[in-house]
Each structure stands twice: as structure tokens, then as C-alpha cells.
């Protein structure tokens, strides 16, 4: 049953006569407090905030004067008191509330300025359990929620970025704030506490190894509003979760126009793929289009790797995303800018490389400060109608798997190196995925087909097109190896790969017809390796 309401209409303009300031982040605090004091607002504050305001030469009342009770328990208890919450929650135009406030000497608070203990930052810092728990704010969220609920009479400011707009509104309304403005501040406040609690609950689930908590919450802070989403008629915004995994969300954009929704989605896919390749072993380049790789290669240098990756599908590479596992150098930059490219993302870039890219004013250059760890645990979320699908990140790496040769012929060392390379790439191709590879480079990729045999044929066809464009006598799939992200349900997909010229195959295995597939491989002298791990990517 709902809580009954007296339906007392909220006033449009509420004068701000008294403000309670209690903040951890003191950015802009003193200037804001000075402006409030100059406008005749009485300042009430707590702990370190009160000290900072007093040291700035401003008159400020300590909250203990309101409560008649000192801060105790190392500041854990200071605002959790009826004199504070009554001042925030009291309905001024309700006779009963007004009488209670008079009877108990509760002075109304018209403006609350509060931000929270830095739980998210402390959690990310790797602090110990006790330190993280101590940074769970209790009084702050309680006051914020109380003020936001009673936005009919109280304005709540949780973000220093809003100080200027509050002062402007006060000036425009001669010391008052409008109902519409208070509602917007309240909405932002509830979103902030929701995000804060989501971070806390997520940390507890992680710390206690609860894989599927009964209640699951996710939060983020708006980073940018985009012109549109996947299509022009769709709205879109980019929110940051606070996860410090190197990637598009944490990267620094050195130049170029604003990233679009599709740019961000594709750049994330590109850099996650680049993170599969150890930069101490070789340079690696991934060229992505519509979240699928159209060319991936390893090489002695980024320039060499880019040339091999581009050769796989130079047509699709036009307007693509280029990701790499090493610092972008001038040689590689000179080659990349020859083809129209939307985004380049790298762990870093030399000054010379950045200058070369700068000549293409719309080309975005992002530096991420590192590579994403392909082995790291994490959580992936996808929305569906009426719910969320939540799963752990696919952090299986082919180098860690127990590979099993199931055919009469074992792969040669060169074939095995290419098989691992191809399977590493197949992990990042939309299912059904087929990847042909040769000499550390993709030579044909089939993605997202309803039939695995169709993916195999499309990959072979694209390899044939690339060979014709390059003036080669035969496609590079001749003498290549092939990777499949999931098992071959029938031998037809394998036979299609053999027809394209593949000499060795890597796949998870596990089909009811594995014996038939193995027999087909043996009949054609093909080597086959089972990984025991599937890499579906929908």
C-alpha cells in the first residue's frame, strides 16, 4: 500500500536563507561559499568543510550547534540527527510539520551541498578491505536522498560543476530557486546515490565472490552526449563506469572530431583485439569495421604488420578503426594515413607520429596508456527487453589452453603458430566466425553468418577478391590455416575450408559428429587441433 499524501502544492520559488555544506571534494567550494555568503545565505557546515570555510574568513556554524551533539566515532556520526533531517525533510506548508519543527527548534535548511566519500576511487586504488569499507559514505547519501525527496522546499547540489548554475539561478530569481530547477537537481542527486550504491554492491559481490547476486545494479557518469546513436534517428550518450581498464573510455584523445557512438563501439572492439598480442613478442595491428576485424597481422614493426593486415581486405579497411599493441611511430603513421581511417588507438604515440596524424584534422588519435589484459576477469552487460544479460568477460587465451591434436597428422611448428594466431583473432569475430591465417596475418575472415559453412565460403571469397586486387595468381588461403570459433557441426564447413586451401584447422571440438569431421580431415591429410574452449561472440 502506498504511503498517503496530503497533496500540498509545492511553491515555485523558495528563498535560500540557510545552506548546509558537507563535501569531500572541495573543488570550487570556497568561491561558492563566498558567493552564498555575499547573497546573505547563512552557512552551516561539518568537519573539514567547516574548517576550510572558516579559514577562508567566512562566518560558518558547525552542524553540532544545530544538533546539540558533537561529531563522534571518528566522524561516522555527525549529521544523522533529527535537527538535520527534520530541517531537510520538513514540509514547510504542512501545519503538523511546521509545528514539529517549532516544538523541536528545528531550523529549516533550504540548500544542501554534499558530495560523497571517494568510494569508487579508493576501490580502484587497490586499498584493503577495511579501508574500502571506511569509505562507504552513510551520512552523505542519507542527507542527499532526504533533500532530493523534499525538493519541493530544498535544493540539493551534489556536483561542483553545478555551482555556477546555482549561483546564476539565485541571481536571476533574487535569492530563490525555482521548482523546475530543484527537480532537476533532485533527479541528478538520486542518480548519483544510485550509482554510488551500485559501486558498493558490485564491490561486495566481487569481494565475496558472489557470481550472481540477487539484486544487480550498474552505474555510470555521463561523459558525452552524442549527435546520435547507431542511426541518426536514435539518441545516444556515453557513460563512464569508472573501470580503469585501458581502452576507449580511459584513453586520451589527442586530436580529431568527437567520437560517434559507432566509433566508440568499434574502437573498443579493435583495442580489445590488439590486447591479445604481447607487444614484447611482436608488433600487431587490428583493422576493425562494424566491430569485426577485416585484417589482423603481426610483424617485426607496426608498419610491416599494418601492410599485412591491410592486404587481407583493403576494401573493407576504408573508413575503419586501426588499433595496435605498441606505441604508434612515424613509419606506421605515414602508412595508416594513406587510407581513410576513422580512429587510431594505441598505447601511446611519438610526437612525430602525432604530427603526421594531425595533418588529417578529422582523424581521431587516441592513446590509452597501456593495453587491456586479455586474461583479466571482468563483467559484460547487454540489455534485452525487460532485463539485463550479465556474464563474465571471455578471458580465455589460446596460449593457456591445452591443445589436442586429433588427426593422424600433427601441425608443423609454422602451422601451429598460425593456428594460435587465427584462434586468437576468431575470439573477436562475430559468430559464426571463420578465420584463415598465414604467416602471422589474416588472409580471409567470415563473420556473423547463420551457417558456419557460409562464413567459410565468404572468407574464401574475400581472400579471392583481395588476391585479384593485389594481382596475385592465387588467394593467400592456399596453404593457410583456419580457425573456427565453435565446433563444426558437420564436415561441410571443414570441406569448404579445405577447398579454399587450408592445410590445418583449429576448433573447440565437442560436436556429436566430431568423428566424422576428424575422418574428413584425415582423408585430406589435414592437421586438426581441438582447444576445448568455444569463443561465441554475438
Mind listing the domains of the chain with CATH numbers? 13-208 (3.40.50.1380), 252-367 (3.40.140.20), 401-530 (3.40.140.20)
Average pLDDT of the segment spanning 117-133: 89
- How high does pLDDT run on average in the chain? 93
Average pLDDT of the segment spanning 351-361: 96
Tell me the percentage of the chain whose pLDDT exceeds 90: 76
| Cα–Cα distances in angstroms (integers) from residue 314 to residues 66, 297, 422, 428, in the given order | 71, 13, 19, 19
**pTM for the whole structure:** 0.87
Average pLDDT of the segment spanning 156-166: 96
Contact (Cβ atoms closer than 8 angstroms) between residue 162 and residue 182: no
- The DSSP secondary-structure symbol of 77 reads B
Is pLDDT above 80 for 321?
Answer: yes
Contact (Cβ atoms closer than 8 angstroms) between residue 485 and residue 426: yes
CA proximity to 285, closest of 293, 354, 422: 293
Is pLDDT above 80 for 165?
Answer: yes
Average pLDDT of the segment spanning 294-321: 96
pLDDT at residue number 296? 97
Q: Which residues contact 7 (CB under 8 A, 6 or more apart)?
A: none
Structure confidence at residue 501 as a pLDDT band (50, 70, 90): very high
Structure confidence at residue 2 as a pLDDT band (50, 70, 90): low
Q: How far is CA 466 from the centre of its chain?
A: 35
* Residue 504 bridge partners (DSSP): 481, 527
CA distance linking residue 485 with residue 357, whole number of Å: 35
Is pLDDT above 80 for 223?
Answer: yes
CA distance linking residue 317 with residue 288, whole number of Å: 7
- Between strands 504-507 and 481-484, the pairing is parallel
pLDDT at residue number 489? 87
Which of 26, 81, 149, 184 is labelled catalytic?
Answer: 149
Structure confidence at residue 124 as a pLDDT band (50, 70, 90): confident
Is pLDDT above 70 for 403?
Answer: yes
Tell me the percentage of the chain whose pLDDT exceeds 70: 99
SS3 per-residue string spanning 277-317: CCCCCCEEEEEEECCEEEEEEEECCHHHHHHHHHHHCHHHH
Average pLDDT of the segment spanning 378-393: 91
pLDDT in tens, 416-465: 999 999 999 999 999 999 999 999 999 999 998 988 889 988 988 888 88
Is pLDDT above 80 for 328?
Answer: yes
Rounded to 10 degrees, what is the CA torsion of 232, 339, 277, 303? -160
Average pLDDT of the segment spanning 499-509: 94
pLDDT at residue number 472? 86
pLDDT at residue number 1? 61
Is pLDDT above 70 for 394?
Answer: yes
Return the minimum-mean-pLDDT range out of 27-36, 198-207, 290-299. Answer: 198-207
Structure confidence at residue 318 as a pLDDT band (50, 70, 90): very high
Average pLDDT of the segment spanning 273-290: 97
Is pLDDT above 90 for 484?
Answer: yes
pLDDT at residue number 406? 97
- Look up 233 and say whether it is catalytic: no
CA proximity to 207, closest of 115, 119, 139: 119
- Look up 149 and say whether it is catalytic: yes
Which of 81, 184, 290, 524 is labelled catalytic?
Answer: 290
Amino acid at each position: 500500500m502506498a504511503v498517503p499524501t496530503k497533496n500540498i502544492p509545492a511553491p515555485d520559488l523558495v528563498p535560500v536563507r540557510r545552506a548546509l555544506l558537507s563535501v569531500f571534494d572541495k573543488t570550487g567550494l570556497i568561491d561558492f561559499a563566498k558567493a552564498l555568503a555575499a547573497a546573505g545565505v547563512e552557512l552551516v557546515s561539518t568537519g573539514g568543510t567547516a574548517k576550510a570555510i572558516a579559514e577562508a574568513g567566512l562566518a560558518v556554524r558547525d552542524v553540532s550547534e544545530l544538533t546539540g551533539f558533537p561529531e563522534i566515532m571518528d566522524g561516522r556520526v555527525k549529521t544523522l540527527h533529527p535537527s538535520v533531517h527534520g530541517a531537510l525533510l520538513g514540509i514547510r506548508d504542512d501545519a503538523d510539520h511546521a509545528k514539529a519543527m517549532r516544538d523541536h527548534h528545528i531550523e529549516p535548511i533550504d540548500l544542501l551541498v554534499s558530495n560523497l566519500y571517494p568510494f569508487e576511487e579508493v576501490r580502484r586504488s587497490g586499498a584493503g578491505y577495511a579501508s574500502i569499507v571506511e569509505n562507504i559514505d552513510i551520512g552523505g547519501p542519507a542527507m542527499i536522498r532526504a533533500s532530493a525527496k523534499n525538493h519541493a522546499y530544498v535544493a540539493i547540489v551534489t556536483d561542483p560543476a553545478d555551482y555556477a548554475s546555482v549561483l546564476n539561478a539565485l541571481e536571476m530569481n533574487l535569492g530563490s530557486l525555482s521548482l523546475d530547477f530543484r527537480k532537476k537537481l533532485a533527479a541528478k542527486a538520486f542518480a548519483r546515490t544510485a550509482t554510488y550504491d551500485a559501486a558498493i554492491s558490485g564491490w561486495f559481490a566481487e569481494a565475496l565472490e558472489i557470481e550472481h547476486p540477487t539484486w544487480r545494479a550498474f552505474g555510470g557518469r555521463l561523459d558525452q552526449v552524442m549527435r546520435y546513436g547507431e542511426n541518426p534517428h536514435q539518441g545516444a550518450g556515453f557513460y563512464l563506469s569508472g573501470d580503469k581498464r585501458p581502452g576507449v573510455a580511459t584513453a586520451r584523445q589527442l586530436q580529431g572530431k568527437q567520437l560517434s557512438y559507432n566509433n566508440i563501439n568499434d574502437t573498443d572492439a579493435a583495442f580489445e583485439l590488439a590486447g591479445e598480442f604481447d607487444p614484447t613478442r611482436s608488433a600487431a595491428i587490428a583493422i576493425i569495421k562494424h566491430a569485426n576485424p577485416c585484417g589482423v597481422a603481426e610483424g617485426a614493426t607496426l608498419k610491416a604488420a599494418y601492410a599485412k593486415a591491410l592486404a587481407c581486405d583493403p576494401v573493407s579497411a576504408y573508413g575503419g578503426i586501426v588499433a595496435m599493441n605498441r606505441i604508434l611511430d612515424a613509419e606506421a603513421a605515414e602508412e595508416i594515413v594513406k587510407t581513410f581511417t576513422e580512429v587510431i588507438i594505441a598505447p601511446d604515440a611519438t610526437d612525430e607520429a602525432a604530427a603526421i596524424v594531425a595533418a588529417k584534422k578529422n582523424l581521431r588519435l587516441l592513446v590509452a596508456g597501456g593495453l587491456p589484459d586479455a586474461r583479466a576477469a571482468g563483467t559484460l552487460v547487454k540489455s534485452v527487453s525487460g532485463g539485463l544479460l550479465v556474464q563474465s568477460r571471455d578471458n580465455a587465451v589460446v596460449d593457456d589452453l591445452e591443445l589436442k591434436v586429433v588427426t593422424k597428422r600433427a601441425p608443423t611448428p609454422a602451422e601451429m603458430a598460425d593456428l594460435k594466431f587465427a584462434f586468437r583473432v576468431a575470439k573477436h569475430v562475430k559468430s559464426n566466425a571463420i578465420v584463415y591465417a598465414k604467416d602471422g596475418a589474416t588472409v580471409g575472415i567470415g563473420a556473423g553468418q547463420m551457417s558456419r559453412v557460409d562464413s567459410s565460403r565468404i572468407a574464401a571469397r574475400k581472400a579471392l577478391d583481395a588476391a585479384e586486387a593485389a594481382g596475385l595468381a592465387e588467394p593467400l588461403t592456399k596453404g593457410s590455416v583456419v580457425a573456427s570459433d565453435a565446433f563444426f557441426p558437420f564436415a561441410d564447413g571443414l570441406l569448404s575450408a579445405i577447398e579454399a586451401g587450408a592445410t590445418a584447422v583449429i576448433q573447440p571440438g565437442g560436436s556429436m559428429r566430431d568423428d566424422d569431421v576428424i575422418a574428413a580431415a584425415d582423408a585430406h591429410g589435414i592437421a586438426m587441433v581441438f582447444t576445448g574452449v568455444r569463443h561465441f561472440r554475438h
